[in-house]
Structure 1
Amino acid sequence: MIEIERKFLVKSDVFKTDAFKKTRIIQGFLNSDKQRTVRVRIKEETGFLTIKGLSSKNGLSRFEWEKEITKQDAEVLLNLCEPTIIDKTRYEVTVKNHTFEVDEFFGDNQGLVIAEVELESENEAFEKPNWLGEEVTGNIKYYNSQLSKTPYKSWK
């Protein structure tokens, strides 16, 4: 499956009042090579194993495969992950016909808030809410796999 998404920094927390869902996510990377990443994730009581391929040149699309696993299996696999484990809360916000996933990071990435919107095509139009900031699509330092290697707190 090909994933097409755009990624933005978030400039205010107004999105929280519009969110219809809030989920805590813990994730780590078994492999964070830019050619392919292998991610272990726990969302509430469910585990997931995800493989992502290399991004397109413009950073908008890449191959993604995901399989649900037990929370217990995910907890065991997290112990094998590269440093650092990502801890975040995901807010889901509907804006017109699109759902934005807004991640508020904690721990070593405290202070970083990123919104993503998945699209059907690379040139699909969507409404940008006023809380969206600078677009960072394709900037790999904002990929979760890179945030685990070089956390936001070390950028300053």
Structure 2
Amino acid sequence: MIEIERKFLVKSEAFKSEAFKQTRLIQGYLNSHKERAVRVRIKGDLGFLTVKGASTANGLSRFEWEKEISKPEAEALLNLCEPGIIDKIRYEVKVKNHTFEVDEFFGENEGLIVAEVELNAENETFEKPLWLGEEVTGDAKYYNSQLSNNPYKTW
């Protein structure tokens, strides 16, 4: 249940033509504390409840637990969330042996596009596509839980 990922800004929309899947995500936070975040997400017709722990010092790893719930349950829980609902489309792009999840944000975070790649080990190598920009792994302001409190449009 340890998630290892690296996060990058995206410098072009070329990823859209390479995506094999795209899904609208609506999510909110019941708790967005830096030591633990409790997220409610609607992904298509499914709901999810996720708990994330604090990141390691380098920002690469953290505890993550997720449970599927019904969409009506997720919709009800979204009404209890802190202000700042996240609205985004997630594009999935296969690059060699890895799948990048590219999030294009809307609403108060419109204009922000971030890509994440999950790894099996912190030192795992992967090919970086041309549309990948600056690495922001470990920069808390790019965490969705922080974007809900301090949206991109206010920076």
Determine if the TM-score, normalized by the shorter chain, exceeds 0.5: yes
The answer for unaligned runs of 5 or more in structure 1 is: none
Q: How does 1:131-142 map to 2 (within 5 A)?
A: 131-142=131-142
Deviation at 1:68, TM superposition (A): 0.1
4+ runs of 1 displaced by more than 4 Å? Answer: none
2: CA distance between counterparts of 1:11 and 1:141? 18
Tell me the equivalent position of 1:122.
122
- Cα deviation, 1:101-124, whole Å, max 9, x if unaligned, reads 000000000000000000000000
1:77-113 deviation digits (Å, cap 9, x = unpaired): 0000001000000000000000000000000000000
Measure, in 2, the Cα distance between the counterparts of 1:112 and 1:83.
19
Identity of aligned residues (%): 76
Partner residue, 1:13: 13
Gaps of 5+ in 2: none
Q: Do residues 68 (structure 1) and 68 (structure 2) align?
A: yes
- The residue matched to 1:141 in structure 2 has which SS? helix
TM-score when normalising by structure 1: 0.99
Aligned pair 1:105/2:105, yes or no?
Answer: yes
Q: Do structure 1's residue 152 and structure 2's residue 144 form an aligned pair?
A: no
- Number of corresponding residues: 155
How many angstroms does 1:6 deviate by?
0.1
CA displacement 1:5-60 (0-9 Å, x = unmatched) = 00000000000000000000000000000110000000010000000001000000
Partner of 1:82: 82
For residue 67 of structure 1, report the CA deviation from its aligned partner. 0.1
Taking structure 2 as the reference length, what is the TM-score of the superposition? Answer: 1.00
Task: Supply the AA of the counterpart residue of 1:34.
Answer: K
Measured in 2, the distance between the counterparts of 1:154 and 1:83 equals: 15
RMSD: 0.2
